[in-house]
Amino acid sequence: DEPADEPAAAEEPAEEPSSAEAAGTGVDGGTLIWAHEQEPPDLHLDDPENNLSITSWIRSALLEGFYGISGGNDYYPELLDGEAVPTTNDDGSVTIAYTLRDGLMWSDGTPLTTADVVFTFDAVMAQDDAGEYIYLAGDRSVLETITAVTAVSDTEFTMDWASFNAGWKAVMGEVYPAHVFSADAAEAAAELNDALREWTLADGTVFPSSGPMIFASWERGVQLNMVRNDIYHGSNSPDS
């Protein structure tokens, strides 16, 4: 008789993924290559001529603002140390008190403080002699309801509004670095317009970041390169 067939060997159990793999967490080092169907004309998103979503996605890794938006479309305090506190005044105006997180830092090692907040507002709202805004922005309707931005300390500041505005958490989605621009608001507004396009300052150095990435280089038509911000203060995002 022919010998009976040998029983099939039991299959080895599949190797369990590591906890890092299971959680989908990243690892140190390596390169992320992100392919997109469009290249932005420049990185000045507030220029009405440039409203591509790819620009906002790139900038979200480079600059942060008061609040971020989670994957569930909820606002969370990003540069802020907790929720801002609005107070309605007797005349119907509103004062909102904010506190920045401790230890905020620009990628060049300069502390990020309320001086940057005041600078950003003043530059974006600066006008020329003819009364025209200098900084290119598509919409200032909410900003124009703000009557004053006042620094109380390096981390505390207030914003005064003519009346309550439901869009107040969306204001100042980006804060710009005061220490690399002119102290004059009008001059700074023009400098911002130029620097944001190629993410490069007038002296040829890179625009400092407050986000997790730093602009490195841009080969037009090929690729834009960013590198990790090693002194990033970390995000408050619930998605992290």
139-192 pLDDT tens trace: 888 999 999 999 999 999 999 999 999 999 999 999 999 999 999 999 999 999
Q: Tell me the two tokens of residue 25.
A: 């967490």
Residues in the chain, overall count: 240
Rounded CA gap, 182 and 134, in Å? 14
Give the pLDDT mean for 116-127: 97
Q: What DSSP line would sit under 36-78, residue for residue?
A: -S---S-S-TTSTT---HHHHHHHHTT---SEEE-TTS-EEES
Query: What's the whole-model pTM score?
Result: 0.84
57-113 pLDDT tens trace: 999 999 999 999 998 999 999 999 999 999 999 999 999 999 999 999 999 999 999
Nearest Cα to Cα of residue 66 among 189, 149, 187, 183 = 149
**Sorting pLDDT into bands at 50, 70 and 90, what band is 38?**
confident
Residues β-bridged to residue 5: none
